[in-house]
Structure 1
Amino acid sequence: MSLASPVVLAPMAGVTNVAFRTLCRELELAREGTVSGLYVCEMVTARALVERHPVTMHMTTFGPDESPRSLQLYTVDPDTTYDAARMIATEGLADHIDMNFGCPVPKVTRRGGGAALPYKRRLFGRIVAAAVRACEGTDIPVTVKFRIGIDDEHRTHLDAGRIAESEGAAAVALHARTAAQRYSGAADWDQIAALKQHVRTIPVLGNGDIFDADDALEMMRRTGCDGVVIGRGCLGRPWLFAELSAVFNGRPVATPPNLGEVADIIRRHGALLTEHFGEDKGMRDIRKHVAWYLHGFPAGAELRRALALVKTLDELDALVGALDPDVPFGPQAAGPRGRQGSSASVSLPDGWLADPDDPRVPVGADVMHSGG
């Protein structure tokens, strides 16, 4: 699988469903005449996929012309991993599998999943190996995403990169924060550079604090990484991928949309969400996106309150029609969106740090439904 530009949309729970991915791809196609990056589906749990949980199966929806189709798995068990990856391969559910070992959410780490799991080196290796083995004989690459580690005293990214490489992963991606940082503070790009020096035979992608095209170019210049993974930087800015496509292919970046164009994007996003979820759930889902879209724009408290309670597409259309269409996208509309919070100690299972070579599967770590 090759990409025309080294840009990946990071899977984000409740965000990167087929509606959002379609919108990003449409905007890139309209502005750049091509779709050149990789747009990854929301994370789904391997166990729920194997059990064909209805919500999970709905989350794996791809657009009719979406290619390549990329699916991220959350998993803690080599056997379940193999079954899920084999199901994806034999049933043609996706063209690429990414594996999530970066989630810092307490309900995940306290059971040994997400960003806690790479500390268990043998278990981590067996999980990656299981996914790769399940895809043997196919064109489906397996990639692995992880964080620097649990905290500054328990860094795992260099070992994780080496193990993933040795077990046959096609690429690795590093979110340059620890689990303790969650989404706070600054990403440590120096650790991406260190991983790139440590992993020599497969691509290394960098993730963290990329909010515009210049950030992406600077990360690659400073770290030597092979590509970038965009998470919170695209919230309320789905046109960011068009900008990245332009800079990576040597073209000038288009002027960011004014508020009238943003209103049209909101309308389109609402329509796509309604198509995927139905109007009721689609409108409940668009509310958080509207707050991100209007970040830094003048809208007024009353209009913002009404948009936060929008219930129908007609109502959404009328409300965004009240925005001043001529307001340009300025510096006040740039910068980070989404969760940031503060650092905190990481919840872990009792005795988790005692033996990094313990290969036992953590009990109950895969019982949550997808998207956690």
Structure 2
Amino acid sequence: MGGVADNSGVRIGAIEVWPPVVLAPMAGITSAPFRVLCREQGPGLFVSEMITTRALVERNAKTLRMIRFDRGERTRSIQLYGVDPEVVGRAARMVADEGLADHIDLNFGCPAPKVTRRGGGSALPYKRRLFRAIVRAAVAGAGELPVTVKMRKGIDDDHLTYLAAGRAAAEEGASAVALHGRTAVQHYGGVADWESVARLKEAVPDIPVLGNGDIWSADDAVRMMKETGCDGVVVGRGCLGRPWLFGDLARALDGDPGRARPNLGEVAGTMARHAAMLAEWHGSETQAVMEFRKHVGWYLKGFEVGGDVRRGLTTSASLAELRDRLDGLDHVQPWPDGAEGPRGKSSERSHVHLPDGWLDDADDCAVPGMAELDISGG
């Protein structure tokens, strides 16, 4: 099915990306501090958290804070979510005209109920005319900025949309498409279907196709590219608590067998720095230590750290308390076997929350009423 890309990388519009690796947008995760930690380990394309287009064009204060980039970030990449072509077009034009980013990614993959019940995210490609209109509006608004599309296979196995959506995105001027090899109903459960990535690559030969799903290690990325022929990979949950994965990816895709194996002391140092960077970014130590709590289990996965110690770390009320507890870890404990593997939410859903009558007419181009009401602000 093809091999790993050579050192020419993957071209997304005028942007050359080597290694062909993209950090997936993750809500509450991929703010600038985490992006900086990942970028320090290895190059790639590092995308912001999902930004709601209506909130952006309304200049919502929270949203404007979310789209800040660190001074050293190049290329600046922003993911937009929207369901109204007119609003998405305005948001893309705002990004381009005001120099807010260098690349726009469109979210058609989010399976969260608060998004799909409004017809957005992974629910939207089913409405093929509306999907096409949104991509067209974004490309027109973005001008010279490249626009990419991230999506899932479909709503469920009875409503697969990825092949038609991929072709439509390419026809409307998208610079690349990325596919998470799961349906919306799978959420993050089960096993990603890499064969669907191969089928999309065959169906959309004229623009890069990136594969996403179950990339827990650099070797997984190499295997996906060899098995599917995709042009690059998108890494999400695999880098949670593992920013050094991006160094591994750069080495692996360049044919280097070396891999990062930090001991617990090095991991603890990264944890302390991550929390401190969050405090500086938010301007609030309290907000930072609370936000950092979800990262603790991801960083410590596989290490022998007792439950009481973990609870202490997740209940730290200040950076000083967090650092003190990190100092108490067994710093010489080596990188554990089996440290890679699933992190984050992994359960499947019994059904996908959709607007009433959503599946009645795939050609209906009507914008769902109040579609972005409950997620305005980012």
Q: Same fold (TM over 0.5)?
A: yes
Matches within 5 A, 1:239-318: 239-277=244-282, 278-318=284-324
1:333 Cα deviation from its structure 2 partner: 2.2
* Superposition map of 1:163-312 within 5 A: 163-277=168-282, 278-312=284-318
Is the Cα contact below 8 Å between 1:77 and 1:127 reproduced in 2?
yes
Q: Which residue of 1 aligns with 2:50?
A: 43
Which stretch shifts more, 173-182 or 358-367?
358-367
Give the aligned partner of residue 31 of structure 1. Answer: none
Matched-pair contact (CA < 8 Å) for 1:3–1:38:
yes
2:27 corresponds to 1:21: no
Q: How does 1:61-140 map to 2 (within 5 A)?
A: 61-136=68-143, 138=144, 140=145
Partner SS state of residue 56, structure 1? helix
Q: How many residues align?
A: 363
- Contact 1:70/1:97 (8 A) holds in 2: yes
Contact kept? 2:27, 2:50, Cα under 8 Å: yes
- Counterpart residue identity of residue 338, structure 1: G
Q: Does 1:8 align with 2:22?
A: yes
How far does residue 365 in structure 1 lie from its aligned partner after superposition? 1.2
Cα distance in 2 for partners of 1:311, 1:25 equals 28
Q: Which amino acid aligns with 1:280?
A: T
Q: Please give the alpha-carbon distance, in whole angstroms, between the structure 2 residues aligned to 1:18 and 1:344.
A: 34
Q: What is the rounded CA distance, in whole Å, between the counterparts of 1:273 and 1:135 in structure 2? A: 30
The CA distance in 1 between the partners of 2:352 and 2:85, in whole Å, is 24
Whole-Å separation in 1 of the counterparts to 2:377 and 2:77:
15
Contact 2:62/2:377 (CA < 8 Å) preserved in 1? no
Alignment partner for residue 144 of structure 1, among 138, 144, 149?
A: 149
Q: Which residue of 2 aligns with 1:33?
A: none
Kindly indicate whether the alpha-carbon contact (under 8 Å) linking 1:38 and 1:70 is maintained by their aligned counterparts in 2.
yes
The runs of at least 4 consecutive aligned structure 1 residues that moved more than 6 Å come to none
CA displacement, residues 313-333 of structure 1 (integer Å, 9 cap, x when unaligned): 111111111111111112242
Aligned-pair CA distance for 1:370: 5.4
TM score, norm. by length of structure 2:
0.94
AA matched with 1:109: T
Distance of 1:371 and 1:149 partners within structure 2: 26
Distance, in Å, in 1 between the alignment partners of 2:355 and 2:376 is 21
- The 2-side partners of 1:305 and 1:252 are apart by 36
Asked if the contact 1:14/1:371 (under 8 Å) is kept, the reply is: no
The CA deviation at 1:371 is: 7.7
Point out the more displaced range, 342-351 or 278-287.
342-351
Unaligned runs of 5+ in 1: 29-35
User: Which sections of structure 2, spanning at least 5 residues, go unmatched?
Assistant: 1-14
Letter in 2 for 1:45: T
The one-letter amino acid paired with 1:88 is V
Q: Which amino acid aligns with 1:50?
A: V
CA distance in structure 2 between the partners assigned to 1:27 and 1:322 by the alignment: 26
Q: Tell me the secondary structure at the aligned position of residue 155 of structure 2.
A: strand
Aligned residue number for residue 358 of structure 2: 352
Question: What amino acid sits opposite 1:156 in the alignment?
Answer: T
Moved more, 189-198 or 292-301: 292-301
Which piece of structure 1 moves more, 143-152 or 327-336?
Answer: 327-336
Query: Which residue in 1 is equivalent to 2:12?
Result: none
Alignment partner of 1:361 is 2:367? yes
Alpha-carbon distance in 2 for matches of 1:190, 1:319: 45
CA distance in 1, matches of 2:259, 2:357: 53
> 1:323 maps to which residue?
329
